[in-house]
Amino acid sequence: MIILKIGGSVITNKSKKETFKQKTMDEISEVLAKTKKEFIIVHGAGSFGHILAKRYDLNSGYKNYDQIKGFSLTHEKVQQLNSMVLKSLQKKSIPAVSISPHSILRLNNHELEKMNVEVFEEYIEKNFVPVTFGDVVLDKKLGFSICSGDLLIQILSKYFKPDKVVFAIDEDGLFTANPKIDKKAKLIQETNLEKLKNISTKKDLHADVTGGMQGKINTIKNISKLGINTILVNGNKPDRLYKALSGEKTKCTIIYGEKNE
């Protein structure tokens, strides 16, 4: 089984409110249909979630009643995005089933308190493709907070021990510097946990234009510790995504899982 994260910046225009990149998503769906593997899909909320979540300051928890309305509005927008993702997958005959984090998990001060992971298992057993996403959720300490797609990836990786985790991101992979501002930036083709430890200290390192780089590195480290390989690949390039999912060589970054010997 493969856990695939589709970055919010791949399928939405992150700087523009609620702009779904239909063509990009349709290409990804086509790749998945062609790949014929067992998948769990996690997608980011992109501009459907982040803008409202920021406006209502939802990630720092409950402060006023207005945020309750903000939470409601945000989860509805993210559900809208999820519906578009589902429809795109269905067009390619992928039997996608949506699992909403706000209904099945609770955090405690941003960390997982409890989650019904079994429901993913039940759908997979029946040949469905579970689709989950970054969402607003209840938080025991804070009232509510945000459960990012990256946190979901970590929880699901721990439980399902997938063959690999693939991040379809908005760039070619992990670079030695920010490729958008530094022409000398080089794509890191292969790395591992040990090397990542040094990498993460560099401030200008860049993997995703809008997502927190440090957060992504931490996610990858946690996956790597489970002995699972992570691949960062450009989600806008269907041929590369197909190869990354199929285990063929392509332009991307592979972070090898730690071998426990």
Residues binding a copy of itself (CB under 8 A) = 62, 65, 68-69, 71-73, 75-76, 79-80, 82-83, 86-87, 90, 93-100, 102-104, 106, 116, 119, 122-123, 126-128, 138, 143-144
Distance of CA 240 to the CA centre of its chain: 18
Least Cβ distance, residue 116 to a copy of itself (angstroms): 7
**CA separation for the pair 2, 180 (Å, rounded):** 30
Q: Which of 233, 227, 201 is nearest to 214 (CA)?
A: 201
Least Cβ distance, residue 5 to a copy of itself (angstroms): 20
Least Cβ distance, residue 10 to a copy of itself (angstroms): 21
**CA separation for the pair 117, 139 (Å, rounded):** 17
Least Cβ distance, residue 68 to a copy of itself (angstroms): 5
Q: Which of 139, 142, 173, 155 is nearest to 243 (CA)?
A: 173
Nearer to a copy of itself, 115 or 174 (CB): 115
Q: Which of 143, 169, 140, 165 is nearest to 152 (CA)?
A: 165
Nearer to a copy of itself, 75 or 243 (CB): 75
Nearer to a copy of itself, 80 or 214 (CB): 80
Least Cβ distance, residue 246 to a copy of itself (angstroms): 23
Nearer to a copy of itself, 130 or 257 (CB): 130
Question: How many residues comprise the chain?
Answer: 261
Least Cβ distance, residue 149 to a copy of itself (angstroms): 17
Nearer to a copy of itself, 9 or 12 (CB): 12
Nearer to a copy of itself, 15 or 103 (CB): 103
Least Cβ distance, residue 151 to a copy of itself (angstroms): 18
Nearer to a copy of itself, 60 or 83 (CB): 83
With beta carbons less than 8 A apart as the criterion, state whether 211 and 6 touch: no
